[in-house]
Structure 1
Amino acid sequence: MYEHVLSPFRIGRVELRNRVVRTSQGTGLAAGQQVSDELVEFLVARAKGGVALAFADIGQIHWSSPGMIDLSSDRCLPGLRRLTEASHAHGMHLFQQVWHGGPTQLAWDSSAPWAASHVPDPGLGMLPVPMTQAMIDELTGCFVAASVRAMEGGIDGIELHAGHGYLFSSFLSPATNLRTDRYGGSAENRSRFLFEVLRKIRAAVGPDYPVGVRVSPDGPADQTTTEDLVELTGRLERSGLIDFLDVSLGSHYGRDLLMGGGHEPPGYQLPSSEKITRQTALPTIVAGRFHTLEQADRVVASGAADLVSMVRATLAEPELVVKSADGRTGEVRPCIACLQSCAGGLNTRARAMCAVNPAAGRELTHGDALIPVAPRSLRVVVVGGGPAGMEAARAAAIAGHRVTLLEAADQLGGQLRLAPRPELHALADFYAGELARRGVDVRLGVHASAEDVARPRPDAVLVATGTTPRRDGFQTLRPALPLPGLAEVRAHTGWDVLRGTAELGPTVLLLDEIGHYESVDVARRLVDEGHRVLQVSRFALVAANLEMRWEMVGAPLLARLMRGDFTFFPRSVLRGLEAPGRAEIAPHEAPWRAHTVDFDDLVLMSGGVPDRVLVDSLKGVAPVLRVIGDANSPRRLEVAFVEGRQSVDALTPEWSPPLARYGWSGSAT
């Protein structure tokens, strides 16, 4: 199986054991812009898991564009050497992306961004300084110096990023390059800066050191297109300056294309990428939400690319390659393409974690290998088979405890089973398999009572009974209850819609207090079923509460809703309801502009309340009683899994919470 993707491959002098690559992710795990213990262990986990080639976090070359690893001084060398040695020890090669963000980045001193012309990037929105010849010369020298440092640090090859709207991309695009000097106008002139830098780098690192370029069509037709990059790639190949080509898609003008969420199918970039990759004899890398080795194998077999990037898939499952090659695909923890903690983590806390893998980015504290075998096997009862309960049962079983899990439904997964997305069902199936492999006694269809929990005479009980959707019409901006007139109209919850138990009329009024995936899932189901949907939300945008930049996922999700009969009332509240179906809606900032709408049914998405009915009756049942997951407080998916993983540490009466419960530690070198 997988004979194509598991076959070796060579980029210049670098021999790769297979065709699976982790292109530069930007983990944020570097400390003080230097290689940290966390970054080393993060990449080592993927090396042990079979990845052939990884790119380290983006490398800063100059103060005008902050990066994650500072390559602008020799201070980086000890850390790079430690990182490459650790990767090589487990058979993985390491390349370094050498980068300048151009118009997308504010300089360290908050001075204006550097770019080709006075054209602001839609992400940063600040007018950049058109680079003078002196600035171009300065950055050229910095690119060369950073590349030499990477080589001296043991890095096996380097990559210049010439896509995604960054510095070189701002020169390449005819829409953002308005120059009239020798760096503007024709395609050859717009690529002059890139070629000048490549020539200087090649002269500095020698003919045998692998050098590559990452390119991407911007998205809009009036910017850098696929056809432009075919022409550019041909000139790069004929120049002999590069050894490989890494093809992506999108820029901040098409941010949803950069890192496709669950709304995009696996391989969504291929229709664009292979128009470029099939026109060159250079070794090629493609990306695009590939999450199984089978998908990657098909890409290589088709000739669309030589190597396949699997970044998020190996974030969720570091051992994806090894497990798949061994025929253990059922043991591969699936990526759900949610972007909540990878892209979202970078956006909210400057660190990329994983919503479904509590050890990702926490390898020093949360890896399975760090779960010690308990000196005494305890009888542990977990009540609830949602994310927190499943992970708690799995971790406790790894520790050697005798675990019983009681779940009221006829299958594991909790809220994962409510979502209409197959990736979430696959995640629940993965956990069901994991618990079976770990020997957990799973009992389905058990609406647990205190007697059920006490029957095994447990030493510890973990309550993960989840949450119950609110039906009281709670609104965060108008917390006083009850919602006037609620008892006079037909009301349902979002869960009723997702379960298919709500009988709804033509027009549905949707009250959204969540602003996350669940809200979109409900709205989309209603739209797809042909309902007219009137969505009232305290948020200014549909799915505004998603962790990543709204344009990455929120925008394309809204575009799909707008294809149906969908109306959105931003930053608004329900002032009152009247029978049989009339609502007064008012903008929060302009209550004097209240107006009424007619509807048939009301769907409430007011969040949930912890289901703790069982907890009080369990006092005294076991020496240890802990409440975890949404039963503790409804939060995000990542937190549920992390709390489930950490609960194994709390199975003794002597345990006390650490000061930095969700934190990390490590030193920089």
Structure 2
Amino acid sequence: MSKLFSPIKIGQLELKNRFMMAPMENGLAALGGEVSQRIIDFFVERAKKEVSIIITGSVGISPEGRGLPTQLSIYDDKFIPGLRRMTDAIHEAGAKVGAQIYHAGRQASEAVTGLQPIAPTAMPCEIVGNNPREMTKDDILETKEKFKKAAERSLKAGFDLIEVHFAHGYLLHSFLSPHSNKRTDEYGGSLENRMRFPMEVLREVIEVCKGKAPVIIRISADEYLQDGLKFEEVKTICKEAEKAGVEAISLTAGSYDAVEYTIQPMFIKQGFLIPFSEELKKEVEVPVIVAGRLNSAELINNILEENKADMVAIGRGLIADEDLIIKMQDNNYEDIRYCVACNQGCIDKVFLGQGINCLVNARAGFDSERKIEKAAEAKNVVIIGAGPAGLEAARVSRLRGHEVTIVDKVDRIGGKMETLAAPPEKDTFLFFRDYLYNQFVRLGINFIQKDVKSAEDIKELNPDAVVIATGASQTVPPIKGIDSKNVVMAEDVLNGNIEVGSTVAIIGGGLVGTETSKFLAAKGVKVHIVEMMDAIAKDIGATFVGHLFKVLKEKGVEQHLKAKVLQITENAIVLEDGEIKVDNIVIAAGYKANDSVVEDIKKNFKEVYTAGDVNRARRIMDAVEEGFKVACQI
């Protein structure tokens, strides 16, 4: 048996296997921090699927320390009944549960709490855009007491384990970090001083929990800031925490000032924290838990087999596939729906104050509402379009017992996913294409290559129900000279259908335009982005956008903002304020729905649905969600 599925003890708490559900904000609690049925359903769904222990996302220990409006809280006794209802439900479903107690510190927001944030130093957080005040000695004493009370309430609420949040730039981490702690008293300066307050908090929590529940810490192995907390100091902190009585150490990375290392997008290497956990295991006796883009079953298995950590903490991977552990236990690796690290449905939504969803899993966050149940009547379902919406509709329809045929004008499945995966650092989108293909084969879905231009083209298939998922095509803006030979479409460039010259202007600075810029700049092409708005990349999430701007700057990509294109000539693009000499103009100016066949099919068949970009051009996540929901109606 794989070591992954052997039991482990954290203190006196025995866990059935080495899989922890990592603490990750999910936005599913009620406004103000009360437990909701939705968050219970989300955790219970994973608890039923062999997770040994679930660690909640951050639980606020103080009103001014809450980072998000839809985040669990424990700063008052009124929260205990709801939390007890949640822990009881998780226990009944077969898992243990830990509370991650925290204070957001300089990463809290007055917009959320109505209160001024507190921090070791009055240093604003750029991402949040706030104005924290420096903590007084009285604040430090009060906050220690709040952590102590939070631990007491956690025990009353039925938690099996308490995790103290030493990571991600929150209050305790911001004391540890030289980047955010500029104090000159006994709580700042040397590592010994910077550790003082976090360690005082930790000892208070351990004293409360002694003999009742183990206490662990989660700590950033590296803050990934030039003046931030580095691993050499982290090792010292971990050894001091062990001496204080901590029963395990969970490794993560980053802070809001290096947010891409906190919730790692696809440009961060898979398993990047494993070397840290391997080294820390040589320094401490307690179990070491590792996280960080563990979206490969082979990689996860090797971590334990090669003794590089004692447990794995998986967050987004269990959002993407709630059955991940069962599939690994059954060696059914090809059936795993891996997280692609896009962050669109999880952390991007949470940062907007919404509950999570997932690009690859339309059920995530809607665990009780969106169930795949057998259809009352098995039907012959024809789906037009083999992109994400069509493939998801086909998968769910087949699982519900329908006979399914996909019709597409090209002889491959996946729609635009290969195009989306073409730019640098975007290849993990192909994980989802591969999953959908494996389901297509496993479920015995039929495929016909045909360009459907009217209802007549599918009549011979005798469908009982038709799903139209024909996607969208790039739009061509009405610009003088747009039909010139030097004008090409971004998709043709990304698909390798067209070679461009050594200089290009890209019309459009949204997702497609900026990714095409990266793609061409990586090949040595001089790129100009021409955007009529006042900024590019407005539709790109917080964990990606900083890296994008860094890459564009490094590659010398020039931005022309608030720019109106007057004309395209055979060797230039003419703007209101001048012209740019280029070999090619690349169009990335939006999409229009491929809906020309919709009305004819609706006239000729009784049960017709539309899903994805045929309704309105958006993102893969929207297409997958609509494909799922449509299939549940058939």
1:25 maps to 2:8: no
1:495 maps to 2:469: no
1:135-188 alpha-carbon deviations (Å, 9 max, x no partner): 112111111111111111111111111121111122112232232332223222
**Which piece of structure 1 moves more, 201-210 or 256-265?**
201-210
1:509 maps to 2:508: no
Q: 1:233 and 1:383, CA in 2 relative to 1: closer, same or farther beyond 3 A? A: same
1:62 maps to 2:56: no
Contact 1:387–1:413 (Cα < 8 Å) also in 2? yes
Q: Which residue is 2:187 aligned to? A: 183
Cα shift at 1:274: 4.2
SS class of match (2:75): coil
The amino acid across from 1:220 in the alignment is L
Structure 2 unaligned residues grouped into runs of 5+? none
SS class of match (1:253): helix
Report matched runs for 1:73-222 at 5 Å: 73-107=76-110, 110-216=114-220, 217-222=222-227
The amino acid across from 1:597 in the alignment is I
Q: Which residue is 1:455 aligned to? A: 460
Once residues 412 and 448 of structure 1 are traced to their aligned partners in structure 2, the CA distance between those partners, rounded to angstroms, is 19
Report matched runs for 1:366-515 at 5 Å: 366-368=370-372, 371=373, 373-418=374-419, 419-420=421-422, 421-444=426-449, 447=452, 449-470=454-475, 472-473=476-477, 482-488=478-484, 490-513=486-509, 515=510
Which of these residues, 601, 616, 621, is aligned with residue 584 of structure 2?
601
Cα shift at 1:519: 3.2
1:361 maps to 2:365: yes
Contact 1:542–1:554 (Cα < 8 Å) also in 2? no
Cα shift at 1:272: 4.5
Once residues 371 and 62 of structure 2 are traced to their aligned partners in structure 1, the CA distance between those partners, rounded to angstroms, is 35
Once residues 288 and 359 of structure 1 are traced to their aligned partners in structure 2, the CA distance between those partners, rounded to angstroms, is 23
The amino acid across from 2:308 in the alignment is A
The amino acid across from 2:45 in the alignment is A
Structure 1 unaligned residues grouped into runs of 5+? 474-481, 587-593, 652-669
1:616-639 alpha-carbon deviations (Å, 9 max, x no partner): 332432112222210111112111
The amino acid across from 1:192 in the alignment is R
Once residues 287 and 257 of structure 1 are traced to their aligned partners in structure 2, the CA distance between those partners, rounded to angstroms, is 11
Contact 1:212–1:243 (Cα < 8 Å) also in 2? yes
Q: 1:337 and 1:25, CA in 2 relative to 1: closer, same or farther beyond 3 A? A: same
Once residues 453 and 436 of structure 2 are traced to their aligned partners in structure 1, the CA distance between those partners, rounded to angstroms, is 21
1:623 maps to 2:606: yes
**Which piece of structure 1 moves more, 489-498 or 178-187?**
178-187
Which of these residues, 636, 642, 645, is aligned with residue 628 of structure 2?
645
1:573 maps to 2:573: no
**Which piece of structure 1 moves more, 173-182 or 377-386?**
173-182
SS class of match (1:603): strand
Q: Which residue is 1:239 aligned to? A: 244
Q: 1:63 and 1:48, CA in 2 relative to 1: closer, same or farther beyond 3 A? A: same
SS class of match (1:486): coil
- Aligned-residue identity in percent: 29
Q: How many residues align?
A: 624
Q: Which residue is 1:37 aligned to? A: 37
SS class of match (2:263): coil
Once residues 523 and 273 of structure 1 are traced to their aligned partners in structure 2, the CA distance between those partners, rounded to angstroms, is 37
Q: 1:534 and 1:109, CA in 2 relative to 1: closer, same or farther beyond 3 A? A: closer
Contact 1:408–1:448 (Cα < 8 Å) also in 2? no
Once residues 552 and 233 of structure 2 are traced to their aligned partners in structure 1, the CA distance between those partners, rounded to angstroms, is 33
Report matched runs for 1:335-350 at 5 Å: 335-350=339-354
Cα shift at 1:266: 0.6
Which of these residues, 556, 561, 574, is aligned with residue 547 of structure 2?
556
Cα shift at 1:412: 1.1
1:546-585 alpha-carbon deviations (Å, 9 max, x no partner): 1x31xx212223333433342222x333422242221233
Once residues 540 and 281 of structure 1 are traced to their aligned partners in structure 2, the CA distance between those partners, rounded to angstroms, is 54
Once residues 382 and 109 of structure 1 are traced to their aligned partners in structure 2, the CA distance between those partners, rounded to angstroms, is 48
1:244-272 alpha-carbon deviations (Å, 9 max, x no partner): 11111111221221111111221123344
Contact 2:506–2:513 (Cα < 8 Å) also in 1? no
1:165-220 alpha-carbon deviations (Å, 9 max, x no partner): 11112211223223233222322221111122122222222245210111113222
The amino acid across from 2:48 in the alignment is K
**Which piece of structure 1 moves more, 332-341 or 190-199?**
190-199
The amino acid across from 2:35 in the alignment is V
Cα shift at 1:109: 5.2
Q: Which residue is 1:300 aligned to? A: 304
SS class of match (1:127): coil
SS class of match (2:86): helix
Cα shift at 1:124: 2.4
The amino acid across from 1:375 in the alignment is A
SS class of match (1:562): helix
Q: Which residue is 1:479 aligned to? A: none
Q: 1:540 and 1:95, CA in 2 relative to 1: closer, same or farther beyond 3 A? A: farther
Once residues 540 and 377 of structure 1 are traced to their aligned partners in structure 2, the CA distance between those partners, rounded to angstroms, is 53
**Which piece of structure 1 moves more, 431-440 or 321-330?**
431-440
Taking only aligned residues, the RMSD between alpha carbons, in angstroms, comes to: 2.0
Once residues 326 and 170 of structure 2 are traced to their aligned partners in structure 1, the CA distance between those partners, rounded to angstroms, is 35
Cα shift at 1:445: 5.0
1:338-383 alpha-carbon deviations (Å, 9 max, x no partner): 1111111112342221111000001121132xx3x22222222111
Q: 1:377 and 1:77, CA in 2 relative to 1: closer, same or farther beyond 3 A? A: same
1:433-486 alpha-carbon deviations (Å, 9 max, x no partner): 22333332222455564223211222221111111111x22xxxxxxxx21232
Which of these residues, 528, 532, 544, is aligned with residue 534 of structure 1?
528
Q: Which residue is 1:290 aligned to? A: 294
Cα shift at 1:88: 2.2
**Which piece of structure 1 moves more, 43-52 or 135-144?**
43-52
The amino acid across from 1:433 in the alignment is N
